[in-house]
């Protein structure tokens, strides 16, 4: 959920990497964490889960549905999904953020437009196609699914990092150099602290993208909640389908909510809007 | 059979799929644009309503495509209906957000001047505010179209139309000689379509953005 005025932290990198994307007009400064932000979404999610549970209590499941949901398969799928998301997010961040920092150093600055063009091209690649190609190349299994999820999210986070580091006020960097800081000092003591909000936004983008792409891992034999959804569709069993979809939606919204809280709470005090 | 032989042998089927893919995305995007601009126009003046519209559409975007389609199937069944609804919903967010930001970014003195020369409220909206907000809205449409291209591919799993079917056929026949050809043809086809649409939007931008505000 996006707090008022925080347009640039929306879950998808939609338009943020476009030079002509409009700037948000400065709204009233949002409070650090309002009570609405803390309560509304969790309450809605609990209500949804409760409603699904009640519906399941009275729904009579046939053998096929019961088979698909029995033996801890639901919790296994949920756990696999969380693992896929966490592992892929970790790798996306350790690949994309250092690469973004590297590409904005003077020595590599000439490579930046190339990387950005590449990143924009990557946006046009369908996630399912990428995953399918990796499965053919690496064989079916969790590894192919994970690599697909990572590759799909690296480019948006990379272009976010580059855009953010470039947006740092050049006069501040100039001042830092002027008082005799070394390039490493400028990077670690000025540029990176200034870029913390941006890195947190990258974490959020990666998490939300990965929760979504992880539903496709089932097509590469990677498990996850997509298993329930595809089983429900192919076997025409609506309870299985609905349970898988509801759990995926709740997980995605929860992850986004946690990331948005982290974004507000971990931001350095000096950078509070 | 190599990739080119595959393309030559199946080009009729592939072209039909590509056409259906492009047409589904185009039609849903057209609906999403109209709805999105209307929502933007209706809400941008109020801080509260504008933020609500942005938050609501952002929430939809957080939901994974396969899960949204999964929730739509029990309601509307398989096939074209869940595809169209999902694509339109996902297409809304970038348009709504950029429409609100664009409309709010219009210089108030220009609107004042328009009022001063006696323009009515609809005239101000149609002749001053929307033309000035059009470049960001067009950017939103471009971003949304690229996203819909990939989502339409996933919708093929729910018997939706388009090139996703080619990819899923390849996935279903993993290990066969044609699996790679099918997946490659579907994926590259979608990338080509996305780039073609992008080029078309650049052209549309040159033709429709008023000369005075062109960058």
Mean pLDDT of B43-49: 88
Partners of A5 on chain B (C-beta within 8 Å) are 51
- For residue A97, the model assigns a pLDDT of 86
Could you tell me the maximum CA-CA distance found in chain A, to the nearest angstrom? 74
Q: Is the pLDDT of residue B23 over 80?
A: yes
Nearest to A259 by CA among A41, A5, A102: A41
Distance CA A95, CA B35 (A): 38
Instruction: Please count the other Cβ atoms lying within 10 Å of the Cβ belonging to residue B117.
Output: 6
- Mutation to test the A interface, candidates B62, B182, B209, most A Cβ within 10 Å: B62
- Mutation to test the A interface, candidates B47, B53, B58, most A Cβ within 10 Å: B58
Total number of domains in chain B: 1
Distance CA A11, CA B166 (A): 29
CB A211 within 8 A of CB A252: yes
CB B167 within 8 A of CB B183: yes
- The answer to whether the Cβ–Cβ distance between B64 and A233 falls below 8 Å is no
- The answer to whether the Cβ–Cβ distance between B97 and A21 falls below 8 Å is no
- Among the partner residues A123, A130, A213, nearest to B146 by beta-carbon distance: A123
The minimum CA-CA distance between A28 and chain B, rounded to whole Å, is 10
Residue predicted with more confidence, A18 or A77: A77
Q: Is the pLDDT of residue A54 over 80?
A: yes
CB pairs under 8 A between A and B: 181
- Among the partner residues A124, A212, A215, nearest to B191 by beta-carbon distance: A124
pLDDT in tens, B97-127: 999 999 998 888 988 899 899 888 888 888 8
- For residue B196, the model assigns a pLDDT of 92
Mean pLDDT of B187-200: 91
Q: With pLDDT > 90 as the criterion, what percentage of chain B qualifies?
A: 36
Mean pLDDT of A237-255: 89
The minimum CA-CA distance between B97 and chain A, rounded to whole Å, is 8
- Mutation to test the B interface, candidates A125, A129, A214, A249, most B Cβ within 10 Å: A129
Mean pLDDT of B70-98: 89
CATH 3.40.50.620 applies to domain A79-271: no
Q: Is B176 on the interface with A (CB under 8 A)?
A: no
Range of weakest confidence among A66-70, B140-144, B175-179:
A66-70
CB A271 within 8 A of CB A194: yes
- The answer to whether the Cβ–Cβ distance between B187 and A252 falls below 8 Å is no
- Among the partner residues A14, A20, A225, nearest to B94 by beta-carbon distance: A14
Residue B2 lies in a domain: no
Partners of B194 on chain A (C-beta within 8 Å) are 124
* Confidence band of A20 (pLDDT split at 50, 70, 90): very low
Residue B8 lies in a domain: no
Distance CA B95, CA B28 (A): 13
pLDDT in tens, B144-187: 998 899 899 999 988 888 899 999 988 888 878 788 888 899 99
* Confidence band of A272 (pLDDT split at 50, 70, 90): low
Q: What pTM does this model have? A: 0.81
Q: Is B92 on the interface with A (CB under 8 A)?
A: no
Mean pLDDT of A61-79: 78
- For residue A273, the model assigns a pLDDT of 59
Q: Is B162 on the interface with A (CB under 8 A)?
A: no
pLDDT in tens, A111-133: 777 877 777 777 778 889 888 88
* Chain A residue closest in CA terms to B93: A14
Mean pLDDT of A74-94: 90
Q: What is the DSSP letter of B108?
A: H
- The answer to whether the Cβ–Cβ distance between B153 and A135 falls below 8 Å is no
Going from the C-alpha of A209 to that of each of A149, A203, A249, B201, B210, the distances in angstroms are: 8, 10, 13, 25, 36
| Structural domain that includes position B129 | 18-210
- The answer to whether the Cβ–Cβ distance between A133 and B146 falls below 8 Å is no
- The answer to whether the Cβ–Cβ distance between B167 and A123 falls below 8 Å is no
Range of weakest confidence among A147-156, A187-196, B25-34, B121-130:
A187-196
Residue B124 lies in a domain: yes
- Among the partner residues A2, A11, A135, nearest to B174 by beta-carbon distance: A135
Q: Exposure of B203 by Cβ count < 10 A (0-12 exposed, 13-18 middle, 19+ buried)? A: exposed
pLDDT in tens, A25-40: 444 444 556 777 778 8
First-to-final CA distance of chain A? 18
Distance CA B51, CA B46 (A): 8
Q: Is the pLDDT of residue A221 over 50?
A: yes
Residue B128 lies in a domain: yes
Partners of A226 on chain B (C-beta within 8 Å) are 66
Q: Is the pLDDT of residue A15 over 80?
A: no
- The answer to whether the Cβ–Cβ distance between B183 and A245 falls below 8 Å is no
Partners of A232 on chain B (C-beta within 8 Å) are 70
* Confidence band of A87 (pLDDT split at 50, 70, 90): very high
Task: Classify the complex by whether its ipTM is higher than 0.90, answering yes or no.
Answer: no
Mean pLDDT of A67-77: 79
The three-state DSSP-derived secondary structure of chain A is CCCCCCHHHCCCCCCCCCCCCCCCCCCCCCCCCCHHHHHHHHHHHHHHHHHHHHHHHHCCCCHHHHHHHCCCHHHHHHHHHHHHHHHHHHHHHHHHHHHHHHHCCHHHHHHHHHHHHHHHHHHCCCHHHHHHHHHHHHCCCHHHHHHHHHHHHHHHHHHHHHHHHHCCCHHHHHHHHHCCCCHHHHHHHHHHHHHHHHHHHHHHHHHHHHHHHHHHHHHHCCCCCHHHHHHHHHCCCHHHHHHHHHHHHHHHHHHHHHHHHHHHHCCCHHHCC
> Tell me, what CATH number does B121's domain have?
1.10.3720.10
- The answer to whether the Cβ–Cβ distance between A14 and B147 falls below 8 Å is yes
Q: Is B83 on the interface with A (CB under 8 A)?
A: no
CB B192 within 8 A of CB A124: no
- For residue A33, the model assigns a pLDDT of 64
- The answer to whether the Cβ–Cβ distance between B67 and A1 falls below 8 Å is no
- Among the partner residues A22, A208, A230, nearest to B101 by beta-carbon distance: A22
Q: Is the pLDDT of residue A223 over 70?
A: yes
pLDDT in tens, A165-213: 887 778 888 888 888 888 888 888 888 788 888 778 888 888 888 998 8
* Chain B residue closest in CA terms to A244: B67
Partners of A124 on chain B (C-beta within 8 Å) are 146, 149, 190-191, 194-195, 198
Tokens of A248: 């995926």
Phi, psi values for residue A107, rounded to 5°: -60, -30
* pLDDT averaged over every residue in chain A: 79
- Among the partner residues A14, A20, A128, nearest to B215 by beta-carbon distance: A20
Q: Is the pLDDT of residue A12 over 50?
A: no
- For residue B200, the model assigns a pLDDT of 93
């Amino acid at each position: 959920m996006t707090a008022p005025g925080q347009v640039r932290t929306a879950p998808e990198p939609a338009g943020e990497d476009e030079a002509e994307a409009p700037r948000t007009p400065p709204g009233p400064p949002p409070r650090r964490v309002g009570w609405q932000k803390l309560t509304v979404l969790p309450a809605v999610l609990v209500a949804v889960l409760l409603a699904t549970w009640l519906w399941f209590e009275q729904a009579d499941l046939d053998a096929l549905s019961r088979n698909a949901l029995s033996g801890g398969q639901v919790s296994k799928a949920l756990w696999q999904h969380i693992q896929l998301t966490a592992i892929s997010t970790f790798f996306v961040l350790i690949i994309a953020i250092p690469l973004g920092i590297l590409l904005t150093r003077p020595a590599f600055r000439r490579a930046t437009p190339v990387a950005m063009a590449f990143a924009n091209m990557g946006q046009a690649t369908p996630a399912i196609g990428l995953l399918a190609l990796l499965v053919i190349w690496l064989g079916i299994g969790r590894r192919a699914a994970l690599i697909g999820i990572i590759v799909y999210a690296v480019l948006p986070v990379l272009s976010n990092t580059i855009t953010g580091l470039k947006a740092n006020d050049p006069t501040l960097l100039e001042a830092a150099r002027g008082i005799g800081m070394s390039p490493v000092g400028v990077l670690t003591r000025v540029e990176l602290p200034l870029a913390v909000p941006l890195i947190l936004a990258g974490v959020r983008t990666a998490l939300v993208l990965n929760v979504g792409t992880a539903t496709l891992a089932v097509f590469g034999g990677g498990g996850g909640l997509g298993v329930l959804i595809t089983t429900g569709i192919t076997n025409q069993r609506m309870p299985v389908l609905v349970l898988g979809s509801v759990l995926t939606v709740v997980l995605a919204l929860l992850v986004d909510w946690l990331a948005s809280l982290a974004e507000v709470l971990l931001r350095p005090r000096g950078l509070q809007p | 059979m190599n990739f080119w032989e595959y393309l030559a042998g199946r080009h009729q089927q592939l072209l039909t799929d590509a056409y259906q893919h492009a047409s589904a995305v185009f039609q849903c995007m057209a609906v999403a644009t109209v709805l999105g601009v209307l929502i933007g126009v209706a809400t941008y003046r109020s801080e509260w309503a504008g933020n609500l519209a942005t938050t609501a559409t952002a929430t939809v975007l957080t939901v994974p495509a396969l899960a949204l389609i999964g929730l739509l199937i029990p309601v509307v069944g398989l096939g074209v209906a869940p595809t169209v609804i999902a694509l339109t919903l996902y297409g809304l967010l970038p348009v709504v957000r950029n429409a609100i930001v664009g409309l709010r970014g219009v210089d108030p003195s220009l609107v004042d001047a328009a009022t001063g020369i006696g323009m009515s409220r609809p005239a101000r909206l149609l002749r001053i505010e929307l033309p000035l907000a059009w470049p960001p809205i067009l950017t939103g449409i471009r971003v949304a179209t690229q996203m819909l291209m990939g989502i339409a591919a996933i919708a093929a799993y729910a018997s939706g139309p388009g090139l996703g079917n080619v990819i899923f056929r390849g996935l279903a026949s993993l290990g066969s000689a044609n699996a790679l050809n099918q997946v490659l043809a579907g994926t590259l086809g979608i990338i080509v379509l996305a780039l073609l649409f992008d080029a078309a939007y650049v052209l549309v931008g040159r033709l429709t953005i008023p000369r005075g505000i062109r960058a």
